Amino acid sequence: MTATNFDPGTYETLELDLTDGVLTLTVNRPKALNALSREVVSDLWKAFTAIQDSCTHDAGWPVRGVIVTGAGGKAFVAGADIRQMSSMDPDTASEYGRSMHGVTLLIEKLPVPVIAAVDGFALGGGCELALACDFIYASEAARFGQPEVNLGLVPGFGGSVRLPQRVGLGPARELIYTGRQIDAAEALRLGLANRVLADRDELFAAARATIGEIAAKAPLAVGLAKQSIAGATGRSTAKGLEIEADAFREAFTTQDMREGTTAFLEKRSAVFTGK
Ligand SMILES: CCCCCCCCCCCCC/C=C/C(=O)SCCNC(=O)CCNC(=O)[C@H](O)C(C)(C)COP(=O)(O)OP(=O)(O)OC[C@H]1O[C@@H](n2cnc3c(N)ncnc32)[C@H](O)[C@@H]1OP(=O)(O)O
């Protein structure tokens, strides 16, 4: 794993900043309100693959959490790229949809927390990108929606699955059928947003603080817990318990589990190494 994977210049459409274990990934197309062009989707795949590859003991776990956000101060991401979609045939659109499905599944597989810091519009594919993240933190200026029906489209980056999981079938149906936008307060009420902060500075401070809090825990355990929840979501209780049992067993194979339990009994703080 080399640092060049996170060098800002590596990605045409993204800005990356790795500071104190927090990787801030900014979709950088402010003139198009950070719309998810095919180039952005390809860069997101490359960036999240690099993050995935860095999450090992040998690589030193340089990334302990990711903040996803948008540039320009007006939008998180205003959706898939309407200009590009307007000329797509169904097969190209399908490939576009599937490529973004891959990005969202990769985000859910990452063994570190990914926080969507939403300041401004998170619409359509932008809301779906946020839904693939572990937590959605919103500024008071945030607005969410799945307005695809206004374009003769449907959610295509995972919203049909993840929005009902996050807010429930009733509110998800209403948002998708009406295409309406909701503000940060409503998003919090529905459980779409985990937290609402006054402005962009407080939004990022809260996201960094949460990542810092989680970074003090055993990294493999956090990753196993994330994997367990993702695997069990939407499955039967029996299947979910099987997935949890496998993760629980795997935790017992880690040095961090020995360290964590021993440190408790010796009444000292644990020193986790991610092994
Ligand atoms: C097994 C899988 C198979 C899948 C098979 C299915 C195929 C699926 C493929 C596709 C899946 C896609 C899934 C997601 C779909 C979507 O996201 S659809 C788009 C949803 N988003 C929207 O509808 C929002 C569109 N934007 C707006 O409504 C407004 O821009 C705004 C956010 C309300 C802001 O308005 P305003 O302040 O007036 O600014 P504007 O002038 O409108 O915008 C400024 C410039 O930004 C450009 N822009 C905005 N949004 C987009 C966008 N989504 N795409 C491209 N460009 C966008 C806008 O055009 C302006 O540009 P200029 O005119 O050049 O200045």
Comparing 3-12, 32-41, 99-108, the range with the smallest average pLDDT is 3-12
Please report, for residues 2, 171, 182, 215, 216, the alpha-carbon distance to residue 227 in angstroms, rounded to integers and kept in the order given. Answer: 26, 26, 30, 17, 19
Interface ipTM > 0.85? yes
Tell whether the model's pLDDT for residue 60 goes beyond 50: yes
Atom of ligand 1 nearest to the CA of 179: 23
Rounded CA-CA distance 95/160 in Å is 17
Decide whether any atom of ligand 1 lies within 6 Å of the 193 Cβ.
no
Q: What residue's CA is closest to ligand 1, atom 59?
A: 32
Tell how far the Cα of 112 is from the centroid of ligand 1, in angstroms. Answer: 29
Tell how far the Cα of 96 is from the centroid of ligand 1, in angstroms. Answer: 15
Decide whether any atom of ligand 1 lies within 6 Å of the 111 Cβ.
no
Decide whether any atom of ligand 1 lies within 6 Å of the 153 Cβ.
yes
Q: What residue's CA is closest to ligand 1, atom 23?
A: 147
Dmax (CA) of the chain: 65
E strands, 127-232, where? 135-139, 143-145, 181-183, 195-197
**Residues 6 or more apart from 119 whose CB is under 8 A from it?**
69, 70, 73, 76, 138, 139, 141, 142, 199, 200, 203
Tell how far the Cα of 191 is from the centroid of ligand 1, in angstroms. Answer: 24
Q: Are 129 and 37 in contact (CB under 8 A)?
A: no
pLDDT by residue (tens digit) across 211-268?
999 999 999 999 999 999 999 999 999 999 999 999 999 999 999 999 999 999 999 9
Query: Would you call 266 a catalytic residue per the annotation?
Result: no
Decide whether any atom of ligand 1 lies within 6 Å of the 151 Cβ.
yes
Query: Would you call 140 a catalytic residue per the annotation?
Result: no
Burial, 244: exposed, middle or buried (Cβ in 10 Å; 0-12, 13-18, 19+)? middle
Atom of ligand 1 nearest to the CA of 146: 20
pLDDT by residue (tens digit) across 134-190?
999 999 999 999 999 999 999 999 999 999 999 999 999 999 999 999 999 999 999
Residue 56 is predicted with a pLDDT of 86
Residue 1 is predicted with a pLDDT of 39
State the virtual CA torsion across 236, 240, 243, 245 in degrees, nearest 10.
Answer: -130
Q: Which pTM value belongs to this model?
A: 0.95
Q: What percentage of the chain has pLDDT greater than the value 70?
A: 98
The tokens describing 174, both together, are 């209403």
The tokens describing 242, both together, are 């099987």
Decide whether any atom of ligand 1 lies within 6 Å of the 93 Cβ.
yes
Residue 4 is predicted with a pLDDT of 44
Decide whether any atom of ligand 1 lies within 6 Å of the 98 Cβ.
yes
